[in-house]
Structure 1
Amino acid sequence: MLKSRLITAFILIPIVIAALFLLPPAGFAMVTLAVCMFAAWEWGQFAGFTSRSQRIWLAVLCGLLLAFMMFTLPDWQHSVHLFQVAGSLWAALCWWIVALLLVLGYPGSASFWRSSRPLRLLFGVLTIVPFFWGMLTLRQYHYDTDHFAGAWWLLYVMLLVWGADSGAYMFGRLFGKHKLSPKVSPGKTWEGFFGGLLTSALIAWLFGLWAPLTISPAILLICSLVAALASVLGDLTESMFKREAGIKDSGNLIPGHGGILDRIDSLTAAVPVFACLLLLVFRTL
């Protein structure tokens, strides 16, 4: 299993980085839309859709919704303050606060949404749609003056999330004794949690030294810390929904890693939250 995970990671990471820096905005949007459609297909299990045709329709409807939102924008050099974008990012901030309460209160918190398919679908919309707009908004950050500025920001957030995940795994294996959330994800520990944050902090410091991130260190620290915390919450939230659905992995598309949601669960929280803080709260435009 570990060998398969490493091989897949070594293949996928260069592809992801190449997509960040080499694809034009329209191409990047299409790739991100496809990822979101796969995520919607997998979310169908969480919402209680068992047939393949139902989940296919869910993926298609997700793609149509995102495409419609894109085509209602005035042009590709859009402003973050447009309703489609700002509304999605603010919705993400609100949703992940609610998700934190759901995780902290689980399994009792599941009593009001467990039997409600519309609510579970709404949770999926609030997870996938803001993730899509967070990815596109960060990628187009200052695109008119520097085609790669947004790519650096997205790479930064991804490295934060990967660092938090890898650090949590290593520190948890070496020192883990105290369970972080045993009712949601028994394998996660407080030692791993703090180890992941430490790893993210180290990555933030090193990246800040060498990458062209033109921003106040204080604002960068706040955005990075909240994004790292959000990444943990995204992981725990997906674990909660998988536990309710009675499945181990959201899919089997990626060898050794499970499904698309298993790989982007942390990013679905970290990316829109980071974008919202960076562009709407602190207004670093």
Structure 2
Amino acid sequence: MLKQRIITALWLIPLVFGAIFGLPTEYFSWALLGVFLIAAKEWGRIIDSQCEMTQWSFTITIGVLLIALNIMVPADEIWFKGMMHPIFLGVIAMGGLWWLISFLMVISFPKSAGFWKKSHMLKSMFGQLTLIPCFVSLLSLKALSTDASPYYGGTLVFLVMLVVWATDSGAYFAGKSFGKRKLMPNVSPAKTIEGLLGGLATTMIIVAGVMYFSPEQELGLLVAVTLFVALASAVGDLSESMFKRVANIKDSGTILPGHGGVLDRIDSLTAALPVFTLIYIAFWM
């Protein structure tokens, strides 16, 4: 399994890196649509793992909404005079609220599942709140690139991804080596408190790298933001685990050998990106 994960990562990371830094935002937005359609099809299995019609219906709904966002808010209109387009800002704000609600659902699981586990409508709404703010946040950060600093937005996106990858990798290896106390056994029995702490500690490598290349940053704020985004990414991971547990599926898909589906690979990012974008707007804009 570990060998498969490494092989998949070796071709996936350059592809992601090339898209983030090589594609103009207007093309990136449409390329990203394909990725999120796959993730939407996988979320359709969470809604109803047996009914293909339900899965495709949700996929089409997400596709229509994302296409509408791409048309209504072109890449060059996402930011104007340092202000985010109100539609995008509203979507990201809803995403931030959703992740607070999702966190409460996770910590109170399985009791919290009583009101939604049999409702296709609610699970569909949760899927929209998970995927669409992530899509919008990713585009918003990417679009921060300017003529003076063409890779600025891409760098922010990549840094968030590095924080998530550091958290996931640190948690995996620390959990394997030292994990004893279960983090949330009702949601994800394999995750441990030691793993989470190891993941948070690993993110300090990213902080050190940022301070080395950009020493003018405020260290305390950078550490706080990094840890908060890392914790948000853990909530994203646990949230998907919760929904998959109720749906009785192990992986959201099989498209990425060793990693499962696209949704399994971006579950942490679905929370980390909206949370980071809101923090960025609050402290750096």
Give TM-score, length-normalised by structure 2: 0.94
Work out the CA distance in 2 between the residues paired with 1:138 and 1:218. Answer: 22
Name the counterpart of 2:278.
276
2:234 aligned counterpart, secondary structure:
helix
Work out the CA distance in 1 between the residues paired with 2:181 and 2:64. Answer: 44
- Which residues in structure 2 correspond to 1:240-259 (within 5 Å)? 240-259=242-261
Name the counterpart of 2:208.
205
- Flag structure 1 segments of 5+ consecutive residues without an equivalent: none
Work out the CA distance in 2 between the residues paired with 1:237 and 1:114. Answer: 13
Name the counterpart of 1:140.
143
Name the counterpart of 1:87.
90
Work out the CA distance in 1 between the residues paired with 2:205 and 2:259. Answer: 25
CA drift of 1:24 comes to 0.7
Identity across the alignment (%): 42
Work out the CA distance in 2 between the residues paired with 1:141 and 1:227. Answer: 19
CA drift of 1:142 comes to 4.1
Name the counterpart of 1:224.
226
CA drift of 1:83 comes to 2.2
Work out the CA distance in 2 between the residues paired with 1:213 and 1:146. Answer: 18
Instruction: List per-residue Cα deviations over 1:236-279 (Å, max 9, x = no partner).
Output: 00000000000000011111111011000000000111011111
4+ runs of 1 displaced by more than 6 Å? none
1:250 aligned counterpart, secondary structure:
coil
Name the counterpart of 2:239.
237
1:76 aligned counterpart, secondary structure:
helix
1:180 aligned counterpart, secondary structure:
strand
Which 10-residue stretch deviates more, 58-67 or 103-112? Answer: 58-67
- Flag structure 2 segments of 5+ consecutive residues without an equivalent: none
Work out the CA distance in 1 between the residues paired with 2:54 and 2:196. Answer: 37
CA drift of 1:140 comes to 1.2
CA drift of 1:213 comes to 8.7
CA drift of 1:219 comes to 3.3
- Which residues in structure 2 correspond to 1:124-139 (within 5 Å)? 124-139=127-142
Which amino acid is 1:103 matched to? V
Work out the CA distance in 2 between the residues paired with 1:108 and 1:214. Answer: 47
Does the aligned pair in 2 maintain the 1:4–1:255 contact within 8 Å? Answer: yes
2:189 aligned counterpart, secondary structure:
strand
1:145 aligned counterpart, secondary structure:
coil
Name the counterpart of 2:43.
43
Does the aligned pair in 1 maintain the 2:237–2:267 contact within 8 Å? Answer: yes
Name the counterpart of 1:170.
173
Which 10-residue stretch deviates more, 164-173 or 60-69? Answer: 60-69
Work out the CA distance in 2 between the residues paired with 1:116 and 1:187. Answer: 27
Q: 1:129 to 1:213 in 2, by over 3 A?
A: farther
Give the number of equivalent residue pairs.
282
C-alpha RMSD over aligned residues: 1.7
CA drift of 1:61 comes to 2.1
Which amino acid is 1:112 matched to? F
Does the aligned pair in 2 maintain the 1:252–1:258 contact within 8 Å? Answer: yes
Work out the CA distance in 1 between the residues paired with 2:16 and 2:200. Answer: 23
CA drift of 1:69 comes to 1.6
Q: 1:172 to 1:31 in 2, by over 3 A?
A: same
Does the aligned pair in 2 maintain the 1:223–1:278 contact within 8 Å? Answer: no
Which amino acid is 1:105 matched to? S
